[in-house]
Structure 1
Amino acid sequence: MYNMKLYKYCLIISSVILFFTSCDKETEGVSRITYYVDLELKGASQLFWPKGTAFVDPGVIAISNGEDVSGDVILSGSVNTNKPGTYPLKYSSYNEDGFAKEAVRTVYVYETDGAPITSTFWNTSPDSYRNSGGTITRYGSSYPIIINQEEPGLFYISDFLGGFYQYRAGYGAAFTAQGYFRLKEDNTLEFISGDVEGWGDSVTKLVDAKYDPETNTLSWGAEYVGMTFYVTITNN
Structure 2
Amino acid sequence: MKKLLYILLISLTGFLSSCEDESSYDDSKVTYYVNFDMKGEQTTLVTVGSSYTDEGVVATEGETDITSSVVKTGTVDPTKVGVYYISYSATNVDGYSSSVTRTVIVYDPTITTDISGTYKVASGSYRYWLSSGAKVSFSGYDVALTYVAPGIFEASDYFGGYYDKRAGYGSTYAMKGFLKLNSDNTLEALSGTVAGWGDSFKSFDNAKYDPASGSVYWEVAYAGSMVFYITLTK
Question: What TM-score bracket applies, with the shorter chain setting the length?
Answer: 0.5 to 0.7
Alignment of 1:74-153 (within 5 A): 74=70, 76-81=72-77, 84=80, 85-92=82-89, 102-110=99-107, 116=111, 123=116, 125-128=118-121, 133-139=136-142, 142-144=144-146
Q: Determine if the alignment matches structure 1 residue 48 to structure 2 residue 48.
A: no
Equivalent residue, structure 2, for 1:220? 217
**Residues 155 and 178 in structure 2, CA contact (< 8 A), matched pair in contact too:** yes
Shift, 1:171, TM fit: 0.4
Q: Which amino acid aligns with 1:161?
A: Y
1:125 match: secondary structure: strand
CA separation of 1:81 and 1:160: change in aligned 2, threshold 3 A? same
Q: 1:165 to 1:89 in 2, by over 3 A?
A: farther
Q: Partners in 2 of 1:200 and 1:80 — Cα distance? A: 22
- The verdict on how the C-alpha distance between 1:43 and 1:22 changes in structure 2, with shifts beyond 3 A counting, is same
Per-residue Cα deviation, 1:202-228 (whole angstroms, up to 9, x for no partner)? 467756x4234578x671043664754
Q: How far 1:23 moved relative to its partner?
A: 2.6
Amino acid in structure 2 at the alignment position of 1:138: Y
Gapped runs of 5+ residues in structure 1? 150-154
State yes or no: 1:19 paired with 2:18: yes
**TM-score of the pair, normalised by structure 2:** 0.55
CA RMSD of aligned residues (A): 5.4
What is the distance in 1 between the residues matched to 2:76 and 2:110?
21
One-letter code aligned to 1:81: D
Task: Tell me the SS of whatever aligns to 2:171.
Answer: coil
Report deviation, 1:161.
0.7
Name the amino acid aligned to 1:6.
Answer: L
Q: Structure 1 residues 181, 42: closer, same or farther in 2, change over 3 A?
A: closer
Which deviates further from its counterpart, 128-137 or 41-50? Answer: 128-137
Alignment gaps of 5+ in structure 2:
128-135
Q: Sequence identity, in percent?
A: 20
Q: Structure 1 residues 194 and 81 mapped into 2: Cα distance closer, same or farther (>3 Å)?
A: closer
**Residue of structure 1 in register with 2:231 after alignment:** 230
Task: Name the aligned partner's letter for residue 142 of structure 1.
Answer: A
* One-letter amino acid of the structure 1 residue matched with residue 86 of structure 2: L
